[in-house]
Amino acid sequence: MNTHHPSHTSDPLPDERRLVRKAKSGDSDAFARIYDAYVERVYRYIYFRVTDDAAAEDLTSQVFLKAWESLDRYQIGSSPYIAWLYTIARNLVIDHYRTNKETVNLEDAVHLTADGPSPDDEVQGRFELQAMRDALQFLTDEQQQVLILRFIAGLPTENVAEIMEKREGAIRALQMRALQTLSKYMQEKEVA
């Protein structure tokens, strides 16, 4: 198990508050710096929530457009700004499924996504990520969100509960059931 917990997954920008304050007053350069810092995290969250790469990119882009427009509603210090971005992303994914009536076709979903020619190890890495993405589709919507926010985004239970508008106890229970379901699915797949 990867026992190292990369700090970049959940730690806020060192000068996040100052940048958000400047962005709120209309400074587009400050908001562009926020984008640079958080775009990968938002993309990761959305990537594992949808099965279409193009949709993942489009939704990621939309998150920041919406975040720019809704800066007034974010209260500095109430929660990390990345939690606010995840909330926007979560709502956009829900709208995406509602609008597109997207259903998961696992046979179609299992494919490699790579930008141009890649070395073998990168292909292998992509394959594993795609396998994880497919496996997550077997979970309920809430179970997916908990696992992605806890283990991919690296957020503490408290922030996950805030984003999902649930109690921490409910998040822990969801987390346990999600891990049990996913573990069983992976064991069955490996045996097969």
Residues forming contacts to another protein in the complex (CB under 8 A) are 1-6, 9, 23-26, 28, 31-32, 35-36, 39-40, 43-44, 47-48, 57, 60-61, 64-65, 68-69, 71, 115, 125, 128-129, 132, 136, 147-148, 150-152, 154, 157, 169, 172-173, 175-176, 179-180, 182-183, 186-187
Please work out, in degrees rounded to the nearest 5, the angle formed at the alpha carbon of residue 45 by the alpha carbons of 43 and 49. 110
Name the residue among 176, 168, 159, 143 with its Cα closest to residue 83. Answer: 159
Q: Which is nearer to another protein, 94 or 114 (CB)?
A: 114
Q: Which is nearer to another protein, 147 or 163 (CB)?
A: 147
Name the token pair of 127.
């394959």
Q: Which is nearer to another protein, 13 or 39 (CB)?
A: 39
Query: What is the smallest separation between the CB atom of 1 and another protein, expressed in angstroms?
Result: 4
Name the residue among 50, 39, 165 with its Cα closest to residue 98. Answer: 50
Q: Are 142 and 174 in contact (CB under 8 A)?
A: yes
